[in-house]
Structure 1
């Protein structure tokens, strides 16, 4: 039994069952035993791999997208390049390398990272040495003046609450203890009368309040101070019902209650609701698009070809494998499971990646 699991069991014995959101917050962010506070979870030796870790092409294209957005903003002399949940700093490093070709871009930017993990902050500092990144514990702390923000696999790790439709109405889904004293899912006794959403019996409704608050906060800042944001994650274009909570360890799905603190916990992002929140806060929306369509529109095939021309046979195979994984549909890749949504100040022109607009080739 993990140390955190024992602590959560003691907490439930003392206070009673807890909501899914609180359970996720403890499992991921507990100051001593939280999953993200104690390890680098990325890569083949970790529990999962993200698009930036698969190929430099991903970060390069995102960097050029950011530079295009900066130019569309009128190329402000000062702006913040912000990443939410920057992992090892790989995405930001690739973005910065690719944008060296853009006149004035680096002179105007300052790098800001929203990260709470001390382990990952250390990795980011090493990866981004020379760029003098500034870290923030909260999204609000990173927002000042014109901003271009990127969040890749950030929203999926934010705690949410779940509710289940029973014959008498919605009941909050909780984590409690079974007869043997083990962690188990259950339902609150009282119904949630405030949830006036029609659904069939057994339906699960997820309430991503923290993610919605962050998107609202980000969108409100962009609307008033200027800028754009790119949100990339796995999830659905349309809202619906269903339990999307999942555990991940060593690249395999695991029981979310089995090893809190030692396994990643994530949920699928409801992009329709994120977009509605951003619109309400005053920004324009671009997308959502699938990651496949987005990367193809940005010129992923051309970038892969350019890299392959300079590569040996082994490197060409790796480029081809990465290309397929980034855009392949179904379980073979990330192409249709991952979605991309951009927010921007309403006076900005259309941004690349959501139509046939392609970025210039880096060569």
Structure 2
């Protein structure tokens, strides 16, 4: 008999019984996300232990990975477990220094929005709202301008439940967590009836006409650090030495971050050091698309530069500079914002449908003075009850504008819809000397 025929017959007769199998699936009951709880701080490993174990298992980590762990670890992350802003914390922000700062920003938004037309209903979106102080000052101005509770809603992008609780207690008359299936994870209501929502990602905020505020937000986003060597660009990594201490080292080969991020025009000029935040570029692009497609304005205020600096990664503890690799989780990790990179991310690129008109950056001193902050200062001083209060207003303002303090280190940048090009040519942006395209 033909051998191939025998083989086919055997397949038909034998293989089905040999290979056939019944269902052997086992039902697994998955945990209900609503019942899951974070481990207690006492039982959770320290940030240093987490980092060291990650390095032992996977090798050196990037600065961006290091920052992400230190900042966002659910139980031991820097922003997750304590109030960090103010005299008792590690740093102080402009809104905490004086109410004038938030009031001027509110006036800027109102003035520029008038060039667009009606602004009701209005979403106010703040990225990293701190203690909520800036929003309180903005709402006070809007109340004086006739905005009612039904005209405004607040949308706060905040990953820290600790900071979220601080914000909710300051802003809201009542607040509550919501179902896990909702895009926001917490909601509340102010005394005047303004709805407040919290999100862990900008992508979840509803698309609508909005004012976007990013004050001291971009400086805490994780960065990749690169150095130019005789072999080309290499990434700065964090490793463990023989004494089990963290230290910096240069990658021997091109990392994936070098291949993806270090490219024209980000590496233009004669730079030998470079810091790039992939997350920062992504957020800038999101803001540009949202402003252009759905209307509104985005205002970024942060300390930074326009590409002239290359090594700015540092840490603050109790208002003092400390080693970023010492006691991770106990100090604020930060890096100066490269505004030239934000411009590249937000401006029109080949194939882009949505982009923003980018203005700035300008120094904080120039922005505040062009927005007539001195006039507001005079009103506050005239209404002060005591000479001591007058001096406080004056010294606080000087802190904001003094070139040796915050006046020149902090800068402002704004995103406008691309459709406003002709309007801005006729009515230049308040606070900014020229429009750069």
Aligned: 1:285 with 2:348: no
SS in 2 for 1:111: strand
SS in 1 for 2:68: helix
Which of 391, 395, 398 is the aligned partner of 1:321? 395
Offset at 1:11? 1.5
For the 8 Å contact 2:212–2:299, the answer to whether it is kept is: yes
- TM-score by length of structure 2 reads 0.77
Q: After superposition, give the CA deviation of every residue in 1:255-278 in whole Å (9 maximum; x if it has no partner).
A: 000011110001110111111211
CA distance in 2: counterparts of 1:116 and 1:8, whole angstroms: 20
Greater length-normalized contact order (CA 8 Å, ≥ 6 residues apart): 1
Offset at 1:243? 1.2
Which of 256, 275, 292 is the aligned partner of 2:343? 275
Unaligned runs of 5+ in 2: 1-44, 173-189, 349-353
CA RMSD of aligned residues (A): 1.8
SS in 2 for 1:218: helix
The residue that corresponds to 1:361 in the other structure is none
Q: 1:231-270 maps to which residues of 2 (within 5 A)?
A: 231-236=300-305, 238-270=306-338
SS in 2 for 1:7: helix
CA distance in 1: counterparts of 2:346 and 2:148, whole angstroms: 26
SS in 2 for 1:81: strand
- TM-score by length of structure 1 reads 0.92
The residue that corresponds to 1:4 in the other structure is 47
The residue that corresponds to 2:78 in the other structure is 35
Offset at 1:242? 1.4
Q: 1:212-231 maps to which residues of 2 (within 5 A)?
A: 212-231=281-300
Higher Cα Rg, which structure: 2
Offset at 1:72? 2.5
Offset at 1:70? 3.0
The residue that corresponds to 2:277 in the other structure is 208
Q: After superposition, give the CA deviation of every residue in 1:155-201 in whole Å (9 maximum; x if it has no partner).
A: 00000101111111111111101121101111111135734547769
Q: After superposition, give the CA deviation of every residue in 1:23-53 in whole Å (9 maximum; x if it has no partner).
A: 0000111111110111110000000000000
Offset at 1:79? 2.5
The residue that corresponds to 2:244 in the other structure is 181
Task: Provide the aligned length of Structure 1 versus Structure 2.
Answer: 351
Offset at 1:132? 3.1
SS in 2 for 1:190: coil
SS in 2 for 1:189: coil
More deviation, 71-80/221-230: 71-80
For the 8 Å contact 1:168–1:191, the answer to whether it is kept is: no
Unaligned runs of 5+ in 1: 357-363
SS in 2 for 1:100: helix
More deviation, 335-344/239-248: 239-248
For the 8 Å contact 1:80–1:146, the answer to whether it is kept is: yes
The residue that corresponds to 2:93 in the other structure is 50
For the 8 Å contact 2:347–2:356, the answer to whether it is kept is: yes
The residue that corresponds to 1:66 in the other structure is 109
The residue that corresponds to 1:354 in the other structure is 432
For the 8 Å contact 2:84–2:91, the answer to whether it is kept is: yes
For the 8 Å contact 1:80–1:144, the answer to whether it is kept is: no
